[in-house]
Amino acid sequence: MNPIIGITSSINVINYETENQSVIMSPLNYLSAVNSSGGVGIIIPEGDNIEEIFGILDGIIIAGGRDISPELYDQGIHEHTLDIKNSQDEWELALINEAIKRDLPILCICRGHQLLCIARGGSLHQHLPETEGFEKHGESNGKWSEHRVILEPNSLIASILGNEVIVNSGHHQGISDPGDLTVVGKSEDGLIEAFELESQTFLISTQWHPEMILQDSIFQCLIDSARS
């Protein structure tokens, strides 16, 4: 049987069939990347029973999405920190902590990368355009950019992608303090772009979106780890 990989989602109120519907949303790229790599992706709605979820999962993706409440890392809210949803933050933190406890294969992406950092005692820069040294990092005028990331040669992610990789960049926040995570990738301006956690059999965390630039090898390794 192919491994079952949970993918986190967002609940948003939009006009869908009728006005002001609460809709579960997840970009198709995540599901496509999992399914094309030999897994079976399932979308996890916020608020499901954690014990029941982990009873069926072989791996999990903590996906990208909205900004995270800075109260979780003891900061006030910056004027550019927007679209916070506390219940989603707490729910996904619980998923991360349970997955680590169970040594379940984990892939954290963008928001997930930042949330993992917070779960492990770290903190964020809330707005890179106003953070010294990172003013030109990330999106500009609503458009994503590309940049190089240097990966640690002996890391798991480097064994998958090589020691250098060109990635996409569409975030306005970034890692300030990595907590107890192992930093295995940085951009040329020094921003932390990839984490691993030594205690875990498979945990990869990226600030970029591998599902959008066809880095299928990351998803294949997630599936292989989940299968084993």
Distance, CA of 45 to CA of 192 (rounded, Å): 29
Residue with token string 């399932």? 42
Is 51 tagged catalytic? no
Given the residues 110, 125, 137, 172, the one annotated as active site? 110
Q: Does 108 participate in catalysis according to the annotation?
A: no
Which of these is catalytic: 113, 147, 171, 209?
209
Cα 111 from Cα 89, distance rounded (Å) = 10
Which contacts of 213-217 are long-range, i.e. CB under 8 A and separated by 24 or more positions? 213/167, 213/168, 215/161, 215/165, 216/33, 216/36, 216/37, 217/160, 217/161
What are the C-alpha distances in Å from 107 to residues 97, 126, 132, 210, 218?
A: 13, 22, 29, 10, 9
What CA–CA distance (Å, rounded) separates 124 from 122?
Answer: 7
Q: Are 42 and 30 in contact (CB under 8 A)?
A: no
Token pair belonging to 137 = 């990092």
From 171, 172, 211, 221, the catalytic residue: 211
Answer whether 62's CB lies under 8 Å from 117's CB.
no
Residue 117 a catalytic site member: no
Active site residues: 110, 209, 211
